[in-house]
Amino acid sequence: MELPSPLSKPTVLLVSSNTRTVDPQQWDRVQQKFNILNYDCSSVDDFCNQLVSGGRYSKIDAIVRTGWLKAEPYSTHLLFTAAVAKYYPPSLKLIVCSGHGYDAADVDTLTKLGIWYCNTPDTCTEAVANTGLYLILSAYRHFTFAEYCARNDWAQIRSLGMKAVDPLGTTLGIVGLGDIGTRIARKAALGLGMKLCYHNRQRNIDRESQIGTEILYCPSLAELLQISDCVVLACPYTPSTHHMLSTEQFELAKESGMRIVNIARGRLIDEVALLQALRDEKVVGVGLDVHENEPGVNENWSDNYMVTLLPHIGVCSRTTWKGFDKVCWDNAEAFFDTGKPCTPVNTIL
């Protein structure tokens, strides 16, 4: 792979949101190492026009997208799809984008073009795990409904008397024991006294050892659903995990019902089936930070205060923004210093 000459600074296109934390020392360093162009396109089409020969971005060596992707001004600009990638200049060899997930990027296409793609793993773990813990507790105790009663009709809270349950001694099933799933497991076990099980494609003994208490591996999702009182989705979204929870899966709930928490991706759950499972009392508690058709939520949730809904803000913390920015620039520096980034999703031979 041919890198820019040591005598010339690599040109990095910076796509930055207005929700971002910058480390002054690192920022001073990267400004000295790179020629940084600031993305200011009015649309994705405008971006594509600037990538072609003669355009402002026609000679970029890397793209760094940092900050909260859902913040303005470029929250709707999907820049790493196959439709956009065909306009990339041949000089572009690295893309770094903040966040754990990377389902909005066409990594296969980027790999074929010889472009490294990096995410920022383990940078929003604490923030998202804390959100997961809140949603677990609310799915048992129905705090959203309780707050509604406190603000609107105190007397209605009496209906909660026989529905609220403490999670102590119940079983939490975690789908996806990665960084976030592991942190949720530890918090739930040590903080809420929950029993643990998990499902991955393969058993991960190293992750199990990080939790500090016993956790059962379930070779199949069905096995996990049959023994869990609460299920947390913390796995990536792929075509194979689309609607991994639907009617068939909800039918596997215990007689007492299951609780569903999703802090991963909305399309992991068939929301029509989830709504029906709630009506059928197969599901007895729900906490969602992500939704099937974001932005926005299914209108059928709007007046159901027994369900806790968040607008995909699990990541939203200054701790996260600090981690995002650091790892984004760590990747850029490592790539142009050594030829390989720190946290690649793909491999370029």
Given the structure tokens 């792979």, which residue do they identify? 1
Q: Which two tokens stand for residue 77?
A: 């600009």
| Model confidence band, residue 304 (pLDDT cutoffs 50, 70, 90) | very high
Evaluate if residue 5 carries a pLDDT over 70: no
Identify the pLDDT of residue 60: 98
Residue type, 307: V
Give the residue, 103 or 307, on which the prediction is more confident.
307
Q: Which two tokens stand for residue 279?
A: 């009506």
Q: How far apart are the first and last CA of the chain?
A: 8
251 phi and psi angles, rounded to 5 deg: -65, -15
Cβ-count burial 184-219 (b if 16+ within 10 Å, e if not)? bbbbbbeebebbbbbbbeeebeebbeebeeebebbe
The sign one gets for the Cα dihedral 137, 307, 124, 110 is positive
Fold held by 11-123+318-338: Rossmann fold (3.40.50)
Stated as kind and residue range, the H or E segment containing 279 is helix 271-279
Given the structure tokens 């009496």, which residue do they identify? 158
Closest to 134 measured CA to CA, from 268, 318, 257, 287: 287
User: Angle at Cα 252 formed by Cα 204 and Cα 215, nearest 5°?
Assistant: 25
| Model confidence band, residue 8 (pLDDT cutoffs 50, 70, 90) | confident
Which three-class secondary structure state does DSSP give residue 84? helix
Burial class from Cβ neighbours inside 10 Å (0-12, 13-18, 19+) for residue 303 reads exposed
Instruction: Give the alpha-carbon dihedral of 262, 268, 272, 277, to 10 degrees.
Output: -60
Condensed to tens digits (0 to 9), the pLDDT of residues 248-258 reads 999 999 999 99
| Model confidence band, residue 101 (pLDDT cutoffs 50, 70, 90) | confident
Evaluate if residue 1 carries a pLDDT over 60: no
Average pLDDT value over all residues in the chain: 95
Q: How far apart are CA 217 and CA 208, in angstroms?
A: 9
DSSP code per residue over 195-254: EEEEE-SS--HHHHHHHSS--EE-SSHHHHHHH-SEEEE-S---GGGTT-BSHHHHTT--
Identify the pLDDT of residue 302: 87
For the annotated catalytic residues, the residue numbers are 265, 294, 312
Q: Which residues make up the CATH 3.40.50.720 domain(s) of the chain?
A: 11-123+318-338, 125-309
Given the structure tokens 């007397």, which residue do they identify? 155
Condensed to tens digits (0 to 9), the pLDDT of residues 114-161 reads 999 999 999 999 999 999 999 999 999 999 999 999 999 999 999 998
CATH of 125-309, one of 3.30.930.10, 3.40.190.170, 3.40.50.720, 3.40.50.300: 3.40.50.720
Find out whether the peptide bond into 73 is cis, omega within 30 degrees of 0.
Answer: yes
